[in-house]
């Protein structure tokens, strides 16, 4: 397993968006369906999706035909976007220089190394999109676990089309 650690919310966000990326444009999926497939609490996943919606990565719609869908095409949502939405507290390394009465902050090699590592990490995460994840999953010989490319019709809803105004 990789040495980087992200929050459980970030993992749920990536996999939840991955499920949305499997949908056709204009279709919504119920949060309860995503939660049951990931074996997590719907209330916890709801908090994750609220962050994703605030970050402009998902759209939510209430009502009978409601649920969640991607706010942008899968090719326009990077893993870096998801990590920033879920774990926005930069930087990853927090120096305790003030608490230690250290005066070397401006010239500290350790701070520069961690800042550079973070920039490189985001450069890599920004190169991989949800579309890339889908392509990779389709090429794979083994199933991707809970992610099913053919979602059940009972949990997927098309966006209702507005009724055209009647002509007089």
98 occurs within a structural domain: no
Instruction: Give the pLDDT confidence score for residue 147 in this predicted structure.
Output: 55
Total structural domains in the chain?
1
Per-residue confidence in pLDDT tens, the chain, 168 aa: 456 778 889 999 999 998 898 887 778 888 988 888 888 899 999 999 999 999 999 999 887 777 899 999 999 999 999 999 998 776 667 776 666 667 766 788 888 888 898 889 999 999 999 999 888 877 766 655 555 443 343 344 444 444 444 443
140 occurs within a structural domain: yes
Whether 102 and 55 have beta carbons less than 8 Å apart is answered as: no
Whether 52 and 9 have beta carbons less than 8 Å apart is answered as: no
115 occurs within a structural domain: no
CA 72, 84, 146, 153 torsion: positive or negative?
Answer: negative
What's this model's pTM, rounded to 2 decimal places? 0.77
CATH number for 42: 1.10.10.10
45 occurs within a structural domain: yes
Domain around 152: 8-89+129-158
151 occurs within a structural domain: yes
């Amino acid at each position: 397993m990789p040495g980087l650690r992200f929050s459980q919310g970030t993992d749920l966000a990536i996999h939840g968006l991955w499920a949305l990326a499997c949908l056709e444009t204009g279709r919504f999926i119920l949060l309860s369906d995503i939660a049951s497939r990931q074996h997590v609490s719907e209330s916890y996943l709801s908090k994750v999706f609220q962050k994703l919606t605030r970050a402009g990565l998902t759209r939510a719609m209430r009502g009978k035909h409601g649920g969640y869908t991607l706010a942008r095409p899968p090719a326009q949502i990077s893993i870096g976007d998801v990590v920033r939405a879920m774990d926005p507290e930069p930087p990853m390394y927090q120096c305790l220089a003030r608490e230690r009465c250290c005066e070397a902050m401006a010239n500290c090699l350790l701070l520069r190394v961690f800042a550079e590592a973070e920039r490189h990490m985001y450069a890599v995460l920004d190169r991989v999109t949800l579309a890339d994840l889908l392509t990779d999953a389709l090429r794979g010989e083994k199933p991707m676990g809970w992610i099913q490319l053919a979602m059940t019709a009972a949990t997927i809803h098309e966006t209702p089309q507005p009724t055209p105004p009647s002509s007089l």
